[in-house]
Chain A
Amino acid sequence: MKTIKFILICAAPVAGFFLSLINGSVEISSAQIFFGVEDETKRQILENIRLPRTIVAVLVGVNLSLSGAILQAVMKNPLADPHIIGISSGAGLFGIAVMMIAGDAGALVTPAAFIGAMLAAALIYLLAWKDGIRPIRVILAGVAVSAFLGAGISALLIFYSDKVHGALLWMVGGLSARSWQHVEILLPYSIAGTLATFLAARHLNVLQLGDEVATGLGLRVNLVRTVLTAIAALLAASAVCVVGLLGFVGLIVPHTTRLILGSDYRLLLPGAALLGAAVVTISDTFARTIFAPTELPVGILMAMLGAPFFLYLLRREL
C-alpha cells in the first residue's frame, strides 16, 4: 500500500509535466517531445512557450504547497494558506508598488514582495496573538489583513492601469505567456526555499505538539516560528511575483498529501512538493484547453476547486 502511494505521488507530477507539454492549440505528440520536433514553428512553441510555462507551473506548485504546509504548522491552523490569510496580498502590494516605480525590474520585485509578505505575516501575528495563537483568530485576522492589502492592490492597479499589463489576469493568478525569464526569477527562490523547508521537517513535527511541549523538548519556539514564517513568505512571494494572486494551492495540496501520507512532515513536505507540481501543471493544462481558443486563467479553476475544499475543512477542523 505504501509503495503504491509513493509511486502515485511520484508519477503525478511527471504526468502533469507531459500533459502540459502535449496539450494546447497546436498538437505535439509525446514522441515528438522525446525525439525532437522537425517543424520549426512547433519546435518554437514547445521550447519557448510550453516548456517554460510548464516549468513555471511546477515551481509555483512546489512553492505555494510548501508555503501552505509550513504555515499550517506554524500558525497551528488547518486553514492557513498564503492567499487566504493575506500573505500573498502583502507580497502583491509591495511587488506591484516596485513595478510602478522601477518598471518591470525583475531583480528588485521579489525582494520587495518578500518584505511585503513578511509584513503581512507580522500583522497577522500581531492581530491574532493573545496568550498564544488560536486557529480561529488567525483566520479572522488573515481575512482582515487580506481585505486591507487587497484594497491597496486594487487601488494601485486602478490608478496605474496603463503600467500594469493584464492587471485582471494578475489578480486571479494565471500562467499565460510565462517565459524563460520567469523561470529564471523563480528558480533560485524555489531551490533555496525547498531545501530550507526540508531541513526543518523535524522542527515542524515538534511544533505540531503545541508550544509548551515543543519548548520542553528544547525547541526555541519563537525563533523557529519566525524563521519558518520567513521561508513560507519567501516561497509565496516569489510565486506571486511570477503568476499573481494564485490561491488555494497551499490549502488543497498539503491537506490532500496529509490524507495520503499522514502528518509526519518528513514525508509530508516532499509529498506536498510533488503533488503541488502535479496539481498546478494539470490544472493549468485543463484551464487553457477546456474553452479553447479562450484561455481560462488557472486561478479561476483553483478557486472553484479550493473554495468548497476550504468550507469542507472549516466544517471538519474548526
Chain B
Amino acid sequence: MNLLAENISVTIGDKEILRDVSYNFPSGKRTAIIGPNGAGKSTLLKALCLLNEKFSGVVKLDGKDIRTLGRKNLARVMAILPQERDAPQDTTVKQLVSFGRFPHRKFFGGTTVEDDAAIANALELTKLTDFANRQVVSLSGGERQRAWLAMTLAQRPKILLLDEPTTYLDIAHQLEVMDIIADVNRRFATTIIMVLHDINHARLYSDDVLIIKDKKIYAAGDPIKILTAQTLGEVFNVTADTFTNAAGNEIIFPIRRETGGL
C-alpha cells in the first residue's frame, strides 16, 4: 500500500512543529525517520496514523484521505507501536498480542480461526511462543518490547509505524528488534516507517531515510548515500569519523560536538 503525506503542517499552541512536509513513503520498503530531538519526527509519525489529528495537509493511503477511512478500517491495514503504553499487571503475553486482533473483530463476534493464526504467527515472528503464558511485567526489557511488537504484528498490517523501537534496550536487544522488523518486511512486504536515533541502524536496516530538521525535510533517499559524516555535521552539529567494518559496511562514528556554531 502506498502512503503519501502532502503538505503536513503541525502547530501545537503557538509553536510550529512541522511546516509543509510532503513525502511519498516507498511501498514495501523500510523508511527511517532521523533528526535531532524536537525536530518533529514523532509528530510526523503521529500524523501519518492519525494519532494526532490536529494537522493541516492530507495523508493518503492508496490515494484515499485517511481521515475518511474510519479508525477501525485504518487499524486493519496500519499498525503503530507508540512509546506511551500501559498494560494491567496480570496481562499475559498472549492476551497482549490478542489485542492486536481488536480492529478485525465484529461487535458481537468471537475469535475466528484467522485470529488464532495471526496471534500464533506474531508470537513466532517475535520468538515469544514459549513465553505466551508469561506475564508481560515479568519479562526483560527486550522481551517486553517484542511482546508489544507482536501485538502490532497480530494486526497483520500492510504498513507498520514504529516510534523509536529500540529506546531503552541494550545493544543485543536493539539488534534483535531490528532483525525482527527486517524479517517482517522481507516476508510480508510490509511497509515499515520508523523513527530511529541510531544513525548506523538507519544505514544498516533501512532502504530509505528521511531527515527532518527545523520543521522541514532536510534530505531524503538512499541511507548509505545520504547519511554521511558531512550530513551528521550539518544536522546534528557533530564531527564524525567513517570506518569500514570487516563486512565492508561503512560505519559512522560521532566523535565530538562541533563548537563555534550554535
A residues contacting B by CB (< 8 A) are 76, 199, 202, 205-206, 208-213, 215-220, 262-264
Contacts and interface: CB of A to CB of B under 8 A. Distances in A.
Interface in B63-81: 71-76, 79-81
A202 B49 contact: no
B61 to A, nearest CB: 14
Contacts of A264: 95
Nearest to B148: A213
23 contacts: A206-B99, A208-B86, A208-B88, A209-B99, A210-B84, A211-B84, A212-B51, A212-B83, A212-B85, A213-B85, A213-B86, A213-B99, A213-B151, A215-B51, A216-B51, A216-B75, A217-B103, A218-B71, A218-B74, A218-B103, A219-B71, A263-B89, A264-B95
Interface in B32-66: 49-51
Contacts of B73: 218
Nearest to B163: A212
A217 B85 contact: no
Contacts of B152: 216
Contacts of B103: 217-218
Residue from A202, A211, A218 whose CB has the most chain B CB atoms within 10 Å: A218
B82 interface: yes
Nearest to B103: A218
Contacts of B88: 208, 262-263
B222 interface: no
A216 B82 contact: yes
B102 A217 contact: yes
B256 interface: no
Contacts of A76: 86
Contacts of A262: 88, 90
A216 B87 contact: no
B71 A215 contact: yes
Given A209-B86, A213-B85, A262-B88, 11 more contacts: A202-B102, A208-B87, A209-B87, A210-B84, A210-B86, A213-B99, A216-B51, A216-B75, A217-B100, A218-B71, A218-B102
B155 interface: yes
Size category, B interface: 20 to 34
Contacts, number: 66
B102 A263 contact: no
A218 B49 CA distance: 10
B105 interface: yes
Contact of A206 (B49, B80, B89, B102): B102
Contacts of B99: 205-206, 209, 213, 217
B105 A202 contact: yes
A293 B63 CA distance: 77
A216 B84 CA distance: 12
B91 interface: yes
Residue from A76, A216, A220, A262 whose CB has the most chain B CB atoms within 10 Å: A216
A76 B88 CA distance: 11
A262 B135 CA distance: 12
B138 to A, nearest CB: 15
Contacts of B90: 262-263
Residue from B83, B84, B99, B155 whose CB has the most chain A CB atoms within 10 Å: B99
A205 B83 CA distance: 19
Nearest to B104: A218
B90 to A, nearest CB: 5
B42 to A, nearest CB: 11
A262 B87 CA distance: 12
Contacts of A211: 84
